[in-house]
Structures are given as C-alpha cells and as structure tokens.
Chains A and B, each alone.
Chain A
C-alpha cells in the first residue's frame, strides 16, 4: 500500500535542503515538430505522400493563447522560420535554459486514423525523421527518442518495433491517448507482449485530438478550450484502470507505462475508488491478485506537464501521500504553450523528493546511462 510520508522523520536543519538547483534535470516530454507538413511527407512512401490527412494542430479546441493561428505553441519557441519547436539546436538551447541536460523526444503523430495503413506509415515516417533529424544532431542537450506506434495496427506496430531493435537511442514506444478501446483490451495483447520483451516503456500522449477521436469527455463535447484542457487529459485514467483490471501487468510483469498528459493530481482519488470496490469485484477479475493502486509503483509513471501541484505549505504532506518521489517525472511539454521549466516544479519540496522528480526517477525508469 501507500507509503505514508512522515515529515517528522526527515531532519530539516535549514532551508538548504529545499534547493533552487535544477541543473541536470531530465525532461521526459519534449514534442519536436516538423518545420512544415512537407517535411513529414518527404519521409512517407511515395504512394502515401499525396494523401490528405489531419494536421497535428487541432482546429477544434485550439488554445486561445500561444502563437497564432492555433495557439498551441509557446511564444518562446517561436522561430525565424518554420514551426515552433522544429529546430533541434534551438530547442536544445531552450531546454538547457529550463535546467535539463537530457530530454526524451515524443513527436505527436496524428491520433488514430480510420485508414490504419496510412496511420502506420505516418508513424514509421515520424520515427525515421526523428532518428535522422533529431537523434543524430550534436546538441547541447542529449536527446532520446520514442518509437511511435499505431495501436489500431498491432501487426504493423510489432514490425515497426522490430525495425528499431537494438537502437538504444529509442527509450520508449508511444501510442495516442485517443484510442478506440482502452489499452488493457485483449486486442492489444500481442503488441504489449512484444513491447514488454523489448524492455521499453509505453508512453501515452494526447495526439492533439487530431485523428478520428471519440468525444473528448465521456459525456460529449464541451464548448470551450478551458473545459477541453481540464478534462480531456483525464481519459488516461480509463487506460490505467483497464490495464489493471485486464491483468496486463500480471501477465506481462516487465511492461511499464508512462502517462505524459498530466492529470497526476486526480489520479490517486480515482485509484482509491477502484481499490475500494476491489474486494467485491474480485470474482470478475481473479487474475488480478493485488489492489489496483499497488501496481502503480512497479509499472506506472506520470509526467508533470501540465501540473497543478500542491500549495507550497502542504508540499511535504502532498508528496508523501501522492508518492511523488516514486511516480512523478518532470517533463516540460516544450514547445507547447504550457511549457514548464524545471525550476517551477515543486519549488518548495524537499531536495530528496525534488531530485527524484527532476532526474532520479526518469534515470531509473528509462535506464539512462551516464553521459559519456
């Protein structure tokens, strides 16, 4: 069960344990962009190059902030030419200023497309582009990559995963938040089996609500960006409960997940809710011998961006109850409008907790080797 944090057990001799130092953090969620749509199309097979498909910038629920016309990007990521966040050197400068010396790149794909072959080709093109354009660049910040996979195409995704076997620049695979069935369902089982065998974690990322997505909330379409932004991200909880209840973590003990859309603050009450019903619902899912919340530490991590976080005066109590030192990893979401530097993450937390969030947990979770 949850480690109950006892602030009295930690000696706080002076304020120096609450450090301002953020140098050397690992940014676990950076979203590199294409300079233009044409750049992505160069990497598609010729037969798919001229096909229409959605842009990664959503035309529904565009943020009424950030760089026009869609408002998705932070003003500081603006470039002289090309999409914000499309220049590896410039991005590295910004990330270094955020306090990071390593970053995990997770390019947005186009959600789930009805034409699943097209969806898979787009994922393959993105992966090749990432390796050539970003992971091969000599930059101030060391980049790691994500293998984008199309969850509608299990066989195609397994083949794509095999294409990157042995390339240790790739540190995770990634699938969209906007799935058509929760990720615990058995239709995905062969894919997760292959991913678990690869040793890579699965990162779930909102793909900009750009593909053939369901309603952004289970009750339908909200009217405003504020409602969309506050609630759509919480769809990750359906994937998490599905993975637990279907026994995926029991059948694949090596499988690990990271949810990169925020929502950490609402996670725990929802897991408590599932724990509460657990002894009653055991007969439905006897393949799950542990309380749902007990799977978190071994299998699941969360990224800070966007991060609500506690007020400074209760941060110790909060980080104990929420197990932040074990479950939470810093991610800036650069170049999105809500990009957050490491110094703004839990500034009042004890150094031991903050160091875990900014670097330690990610280093272990992604098995990152020291920089040579």
Chain B
C-alpha cells in the first residue's frame, strides 16, 4: 500500500470545540468539526436533497423525557442540522437521527504535532 492521502486543515488552536472549518476539496467540500475535543469530518453534501450540509448550525438533540410530552436537550454540539430541510446528523458518524438508513459521508481526522489533517482526501 502506498501512503494514504491526507489534507492539512489548520492548526489545532484555530479549531476550538463547537466550531467547524471548511475545507474546499472535492466536489462539495468537507466540514471539519471539533466536538468537545474530538475531531470529525463530514461531506458538505446532505444525502436528503444535496444541500450544503456544513453551512447548517451545530446543534444538539431533542429527546423525549421520562414524562409524556416532556422534552429534553441532549448531546449539545454533537449534531449538525441541514440548512435546507432541517435533517439532523450525528457529527461523529454522519448518521441521520430520524432515518437510520441515511448517512452523510465522513472521513477520519488526525492531529499530529498540533496540526489537524483529514485522511483520505
């Protein structure tokens, strides 16, 4: 195997928790996210209707509480919400919250010597 392709994103200090850096690579571009210190990369392409997913807000998940009709807010900063139709995706995996068989494409992210890289592009 030849060495995997990788793309430099930024210095780790320039991508604090809760933020995203946009990487203009490939057809759609890639959003690189810092979720509470862990780094993830998602395609800027929503599998629903092809919207620029990474322009959507970083969000949390509304969950049902223990009581009927109770709403709770969980997993703050772990979800991205598509700007067009509001589909929600787990940043760590790209999995859609509402429909289990839909997924945004994702890439592994590494940090080396204070630099953030997306692997495979």
Contact = CB atoms under 8 A, between A and B. Distances in A.
Interface in B86-104: 86-88, 96-99, 102
Given A286-B62, A286-B63, A287-B64, A279 B87 contact: yes
A278 B98 contact: yes
Contacts of A189: 68
Of the candidates B62, B86, B88, B98, the one having the most CB atoms from chain A within 10 angstroms of its own CB is B98
Interface in A252-282: 278-280, 282
A247 B68 contact: yes
A278 B63 CA distance: 15
B27 interface: no
B36 interface: no
A282 B88 contact: yes
A167 to B, nearest CB: 31
Nearest to A250: B64
Contact of B98 (A251, A279, A287): A279
A10 interface: no
Interface string B49-85: 0000000000001111000110100000000000001
Contacts of A291: 99
Nearest to A277: B85
Nearest to A280: B86
Nearest to A281: B86
A69 to B, nearest CB: 48
A247 B61 CA distance: 18
Contacts, number: 38
A81 interface: no
B71 A286 contact: yes
Interface in A144-200: 186, 189
B62 A186 contact: no
Interface residues of A, number: 13
A251 B68 contact: yes
Interface residues of B, number: 17
Interface in A127-155: none
A72 B61 CA distance: 53
Nearest to B85: A280
A280 B81 CA distance: 10
Nearest to A1: B101
A151 B64 CA distance: 27
B11 interface: no
Nearest to B84: A280
A149 to B, nearest CB: 21
A8 interface: no
B64 A247 contact: yes
B57 to A, nearest CB: 12
B51 to A, nearest CB: 12
A186 B68 contact: yes
Interface string A285-313: 01100010000000000000000000000
B68 A286 contact: no
A191 to B, nearest CB: 14
Of the candidates A251, A284, A286, A287, the one having the most CB atoms from chain B within 10 angstroms of its own CB is A286
A247 B64 CA distance: 10
Contacts of A287: 64, 68-69
Contacts of A280: 85-87
Nearest to B87: A279
7 contacts: A186-B68, A186-B69, A251-B68, A279-B86, A279-B102, A283-B88, A291-B99
A-B pairs, 7 with minimum CB distance: A279-B98, A287-B64, A282-B98, A283-B62, A280-B86, A286-B64, A286-B62
Given A279-B98, A286-B61, 6 more contacts: A280-B86, A280-B87, A283-B62, A284-B62, A286-B64, A291-B99
Interface of A: 186, 189, 247, 251, 278-280, 282-284, 286-287, 291
Interface of B: 48, 61-64, 68-69, 71, 85-88, 96-99, 102
